[in-house]
Structure 1
Amino acid sequence: MLKLETELQGKQARFGDIYPILLEKNITLGGNWDYDEALFDGILNKDGGETIYLRIPFDVISGMLEDPDTQIVFGQPFVLKHVMNVGLDHEGDDLLATTGLNQFQSPDEKDGQIRRKSRWEEEGERVIQGIVDSFPLLDERHIG
């Protein structure tokens, strides 16, 4: 995992204002979220069974997640690599596993070794800066 130093950490926004901007940049609300904390998730690179993700954690300050008026605060973004087993799943459906369609297959490595770290740090920081630039009202104070 590569932690990124960006202007986004500590900033607050309304979920309904920031989420469309994130979607335009192919960053979605990650699975396994809770009502008071979650991750925005985007793919920086996918090569075979290796996927490099940009993850942006956030906490809910007020409201309930996915409500447009919910106020959130961003945590420290990071880059993470997952290595998926693209071979046969001998305990499950081989066809789904070999085609990569088995969404329930666990990654071989959830936090794999990232080669060319500076490249992915720069790419993650570039995407985060694009978010900050696209949402100039993003501020450390309450936005509403």
Structure 2
Amino acid sequence: MKFEETGISNKEVEFSEAEHVLSEAGFVHAGQWDYERVTFDYKFDDLVNDDVYYLRLQAYAVKGDIPSPSCVIKFLDPILGKHYYPHGVEYSGEDFPKHIVEKSNKKLEQVTSLLK
């Protein structure tokens, strides 16, 4: 599921600021990067349905190389996916529970306000 018009898409920030803000909001960087792309994930454990979901923020370098603190990254649309063990995460063609979508929207509002 793609989240559009969140205020995050196309936002450009220094990598060090993004790393700090997203860590503060509970997102994990976990070494998911190369010199041009980076991913930050927020994990939702759905105790009602015993499922796991990930809210993912992806970005790419527009100036410099990741993980240089002064590198400038540009965010893509946030996406929500459901984890299927052992295959991985599916981002499209899923029916996401309303409470997970609402929590994702609140988390994205938090990130948007922290990145201002």
Superposition TM-score, scaled by structure 1 size: 0.68
> 2:84 is matched by which residue type in structure 1?
V
* Mapping for residues 1-144 of structure 1, pairs under 5 Å: 2-5=1-4, 6-47=6-47, 50-84=51-85, 106-107=86-87, 110-111=89-90, 113-116=94-97, 118-136=98-116
Deviation at 1:40, TM superposition (A): 1.0
* Number of residue pairs the alignment of both structures matches: 112
Q: Specify the structure having the higher radius of gyration (Cα).
A: 1
**2:22 is matched by which residue type in structure 1?**
L
For structure 2, which runs of at least 5 residues remain unmatched after alignment?
none
> What is the CA RMSD across the aligned residues, in angstroms?
2.2
Amino acid at match of 1:45: D
- Cα offset for 1:17? 1.2
TM normalised by structure 2 equals 0.82
Q: Deviations over 1:80-136 (max 9, x none)?
A: 00022xxxxxxxxxxxxxxxxxxxxx33x53173442x3322221211110111222
Q: Percent identity?
A: 21
The AA in structure 2 aligned to 1:16 is S
Deviation at 1:33, TM superposition (A): 2.6
Instruction: Name segments (4+ residues, structure 1) moved above 6 Å.
Output: none
Residue 32 of structure 1: how far off its partner (Å): 4.7
